[in-house]
Amino acid sequence: MKGHTAAGVAIGVALDGISNHLALPLEAARDHLRPTATSKMQFTMMHMVARTVPRLGRNTRLFPRLALRTTALSVRHVPLTPSIRHFSAPANLTGRPFLPLDNYPARHIGPNPSEAKQMLAAIGYDSMDAFVRDTVPDSIRVDPLAVSEHSIPALSESELLNRAEDIANMNEKKRSFIGMGYWNAVVPQVILRNIIENPSWYTPYTPYQPEIAQGRLESLINYQTMVASLTGLPIANASLLDEGTAAAEAMVMAFAHHGQKRNTFVVDQGVSPQSMAVLRTRAAGFGIRLVVGDVANLIGSGETRQIGNETVQLSDLAGVLVQYPDINGSIKNFSSLTRHLKSVSSGPAPLLACATELLALAVLTPPGELGFDIALGSSARFGVPVGYGGPHAAFFSVSEALKRKMPGRLVGRSRDATGRPAYRLALQTREQHIRREKATSNICTSQALLANVAAMYAVWHGAEGVRAIAERVLGMCAVLRGIIKTIDGMKVVNASGHFFDTLTIDAGSAQKAAKVHTEAAKRAYNLRVVDERTVGVTFDESVTEQELAEIASCFLIAGGKGPVAVHDLAQYIKAEIIQDPESPAPAHAPEAHPPTSDLLQSIPADLRRTSKILTQPVFNTHHSETELLRYIHALQEKDLSLTHAMIPLGSCTMKLNASAAMRPLTWPEFGGVHPFVQDGVKGWKVIIDELSRDLCTITGFAACSLQPNSGAAGEYAGLSVIRAYHASRGEEHRDICLIPASAHGTNPASAVMAGMKVVPVKNLPNGNLDLDDLREKAIKHKDRLGAFMITYPSTYGVFEPGVQEACKIIHDNGGQVYLDGESRLICLWTSIDSGGAGANLNAQIGLTNPAECGGDVCHLNLHKTFAIPHGGGGPGVGPICVASHLAPFLPSHPIITTGGSKAIEAVASAPYGSASVLLISWAYIKMLGGQGLSDASKLALLNANYIAHRLAGHYSLKYKNDKGRVAHELLIDLAEFEKKAGLKVMDFAKRLQDYGFHPPTCSWPISTAMLIEPTESESLHEIDRFCEAMIQIRKEVEDIISGAQPRDNNLIKNAPHPMSVIVSSEEEWNRPYSRAAAAYPLPWLKQRKFWPTVGRVDDGAWSSDLGEFADGLILFAAYGDVNLVCECPSVDELAEQGL
């Protein structure tokens, strides 16, 4: 005990700090450190760590540089005593007073210890441990040390940022000119500051409640308009995950378009290798025959065509995909191909898809004018950093005839209850939550935040600005081509010598090519290695004249000539960029911009764009920073985000997105790294390895892949791994996937995509899985049983018993278990709001894990449990963790080595998916530490059970365990009120908007219920506000039941009440209640109120017009679906509306 006694002085000195940090009185702080009879001391030395005061590598990070560093003994408290103490940050018991006090757990977790004790008492417990025992079955509990400060030590916020900076500096500071679908982008500072770094834009959820999401919906319709304008196709969606995924969606769309009766899809050899890999993975699941070769060979006579070594029957041709410009920068005119295939096909013509690039389309003839049915690609170079591969918004546009077949979300113009224009998500009957196993796409998360950035980039630059950027890039390429022509033995090998931003250069020999790369390395440049003698160079808007001269010098020196200086470029500009004497340089061209070209030497004459782009007023108005700043803020003021109130969507886990965790996201040391750089990325490797290791610690699994860039992609990847595992054992026939009937729609859709056949399993009346039915079906299909998908805790918000028995049944019959630890939910039908089908790992950390439950593979939504912001509908990350026997099958990549020894092919374009946002989850885990993560799960459980307690007696709690407990979310059933008061779930949701809250998940997993998840981040004050709102609405329901308010004209049926309605004239106010009752039903709303900006948006009337059915329900035919408009208004339309 001498050491403890000697430490007593230091302990005493630190008591005041501990008291403040733990939000405990001084005496309670002493109690935490007082010796006990059994343990002698109540604290345990876990490890020694070096701690630092906040410091700075550059003055753009935190504060001016502080050189002071101190080393301290970090004493960590292991047992939770008293057990209601919900955070266990370092006590830092030391004689040195200047240690970091910015420990994160106390800032992340909403209720403080006193409030947690109060909440426990309210639900009948005197300790957190007793509460957890009644909530989580003992049979699946894990050792508390499995996820602890020993396994994942916590860092303070300043320590985290210091460490992130050190890791960032491990990445070599090189500029990449590799291209291949990834470019450096110049992010306008007004967009960086006011969208990317603005929680009003990055914390909202997907805009399924349009009345409180009009800002993002307007921005997304700007995005759709931008894509439609540039691609020349009329209907564009609101983004997909990446270009490779978009290509795969086009292929499967073509397959479905022909009733899955045509089996061949031809891909041009100029398509990028990463898209090729994603296509192969997806084709395998659907049994599509993928043929790669020169698509020009499809032009000919007769029924058959020879593509490479394979024969293609036109009658079996579902579709074709080309790249324009292609991977090597060549520009080809495909109009002859499209005309030919549409004229010679017997029956419906194959669908023709074009992977392209938006900036190039400012000067190239758009795909729609060339005869393509589909255009797709990445919008990354419109203001989004390369970020080691993502996230980036993929675009996808189609002809009018294909609008109901298109995957992904689509924003359309509709109207509200007063007839005013409003935006909403349209044609949702296309999506997987409706079509389930009949779906051919499992798309759920998109890339909304990045789509908004791209849209604002187009708004900022406008048509002239975008074209000027395109011409500048084109001009630089032309100058380098001119210089290459002067070097003996070197030549540009782009087809017919045409190009936009990429040159592929034959260096003349392997030695010269190596010399080019050596010279580039001296200048800290990365060029593309095409093959041993061929070099690729891609230009973008960020390239300077100095860099152009230095790149040219690399080739000149390798060719035996001297370097070129910036002032020498003028002669090449004059020689290579031919000025049209009839068309002087436009006034908008910057001074450094080369003369406007007639593009004769780079773009074929018949492929120069003549049609106008971005003609709508929104793209020609906001070109000053003042105007764009005001436009951005005008939009964000229409949207409810976490900056306004809790978003209790079950189970989307709309938790705090830590500001400190968001900081490294925009650092150029991380954001400027190309995903195909082979070396010099040590910092990124550290982030990826540490995050993977921590996720394995948390889940109990052996290996992890971070490649899937959404939860649905994670499902698909995990099931594909299971299929590959069976195939490796000679059991390819194991293709039956058992899925509970209550599962989210992505589950059966993902199973079909992985090549499986879905067999549903019943649920019991109490919501639990019917183990007898599972056993019966597992035995029946034991010879073909491949997998079982189960969400845990269940989609009904309960840790149901028997999960280990269920997994054993599957294993005993030859199957593997996919445990959906983080599934998603989008709306059940067109009027219904969304949450997540279960961000369920948030209820498990440190208490149980998927491996302990019996799973073989799970996916995680990092944008839920691990605090990546939702971004209004993306980005997301859906990594998979697997048991050791599945590790060899984790996804590979065609360029960067990833995955196992028997890896499946890629499921995303980039080797590590949406890599840049991995930094957020890495930081979140490091700042909370193991104990903080476990405490967060306990408080998530407590908050949900406290809400269940407060709403008891007002609403019917649908499901709970035998102890009366729910997990991290709760399901309240509103069915009784339809009969008593004529109210449906959506009526309650719209009225809750008047109280300033985003509604919970509506009508899922049962159609008459709301699923509520508060997360651990919400304070007791905010949770009580929500409960008071729900209780007050219940009182308003009673007025309808009693007859005090009419069933068809009341506070709830007419909700929400925007300000325009509240301030309407007396003649217009025809309602049997006061304006005050509508707008301020509770006193605190007068101090803080969020106003919906439109009335209830028209979701249509019950109709079978759309011809779509789900579970026997006839879906809505909404005004915005029947009268589909997916572009922002033109000048004439604005004039007609008086705007």
Structural domain includes residue 880: yes
Give dist(CA 232, CA 251) in Å, integer.
20
Structural domain includes residue 817: yes
680 by Cβ neighbours in 10 Å (0-12 / 13-18 / 19+) ranks as: middle
Residue with tokens 């008591």, as numbered in its chain: 15
Which has the closest alpha carbon to 425: 1120, 1123, 1129?
A: 1120
Structural domain includes residue 77: yes
For residues 739 and 835, membership in a common domain is answered with yes
DSSP strands (E only) in 240-379: 264-268, 289-293, 304-307, 310-313, 317-324, 351-357, 374-378
For residues 877 and 959, membership in a common domain is answered with no
Which has the closest alpha carbon to 521: 171, 180, 174?
A: 174
For residues 40 and 72, membership in a common domain is answered with yes
- Which of 1040, 1057, 1083 marks a domain boundary? 1083
pLDDT given at position 577: 64
User: In sequence order, what are the residues at sequence separation of 6 or more whose Cβ sits closer than 8 angstroms to the Cβ of residue 155?
Assistant: 163, 926, 927, 929
pLDDT tens, position by position, 795-850? 888 998 999 999 999 999 999 999 976 544 433 323 333 333 334 899 999 999 99
- Which of 862, 891, 919 marks a domain boundary? 919
pTM: predicted TM-score of the whole model, two decimal places: 0.88
Ranges under pLDDT 70 in the chain: 1-97, 428-445, 577-601, 821-839, 1100-1139
SS3 322: strand
Q: Would you state the structure tokens that stand for residue 825, as one six-digit string?
A: 């939910």
Asked if the peptide bond before residue 651 counts as cis, ω within 30 degrees of 0, the response is yes
Structural domain includes residue 276: no
Whether 810 contacts 857, CB under 8 Å: no
Structural domain includes residue 163: no
For residues 13 and 43, membership in a common domain is answered with yes
* Eight-state DSSP code of residue 1091: P
pLDDT tens, position by position, 144-199? 989 999 999 999 999 999 999 999 999 999 999 999 999 999 999 999 999 999 99
Question: Which residue stretches of 637-760 are H helix?
Answer: 659-662, 668-671, 682-699, 711-728, 746-753
Which has the closest alpha carbon to 177: 506, 455, 529?
A: 529
Give dist(CA 683, CA 1049) in Å, integer.
61
For residues 982 and 841, membership in a common domain is answered with no
Phi-psi region of 854 (alpha: psi -120 to 50; beta: other; left: phi over 0): left
Beta bridge partners, 424, equal 412
For residues 888 and 839, membership in a common domain is answered with yes
* Eight-state DSSP code of residue 193: I
Whether 1103 contacts 1117, CB under 8 Å: yes
Q: Would you state the structure tokens that stand for residue 255, as one six-digit string?
A: 């397959």
Residue with tokens 């759709």, as numbered in its chain: 224
For residues 733-761, one letter each, b for 16 or more C-beta atoms within 10 angstroms of the residue's C-beta and e for the rest, the string is ebbbbbbbebbbbbbbbbbbbbbbebbbb
146 by Cβ neighbours in 10 Å (0-12 / 13-18 / 19+) ranks as: buried
Structural domain includes residue 61: yes
Which has the closest alpha carbon to 671: 914, 911, 501?
A: 914
What is the domain range of residue 1048? Answer: 935-1083
Cα four-point dihedral sign 1034, 1037, 1039, 1045: positive
For residues 882 and 987, membership in a common domain is answered with no
For residues 946 and 1063, membership in a common domain is answered with yes
Q: Would you state the structure tokens that stand for residue 101, as one six-digit string?
A: 């006090």
For residues 750 and 887, membership in a common domain is answered with yes
Longest dimension (CA), the chain: 96
Structural domain includes residue 1100: no
- The domain total for the chain is 3
For residues 62 and 88, membership in a common domain is answered with yes
pLDDT given at position 192: 98
- Which of 119, 136, 153 marks a domain boundary? 136
CA angle centred on 508, ends 505 and 514, rounded to 5°: 80
| CATH at 742 | 3.40.640.10
Structural domain includes residue 1036: yes
pLDDT given at position 893: 98
Strand pairing of 816-820 and 785-791? parallel
For residues 915 and 946, membership in a common domain is answered with no
Q: Would you state the structure tokens that stand for residue 667, as one six-digit string?
A: 């650092």
User: In sequence order, what are the residues at sequence separation of 6 or more whose Cβ sits closer than 8 angstroms to the Cβ of residue 221?
Assistant: 411, 412, 413, 423, 1126, 1127, 1128
For residues 887 and 771, membership in a common domain is answered with yes
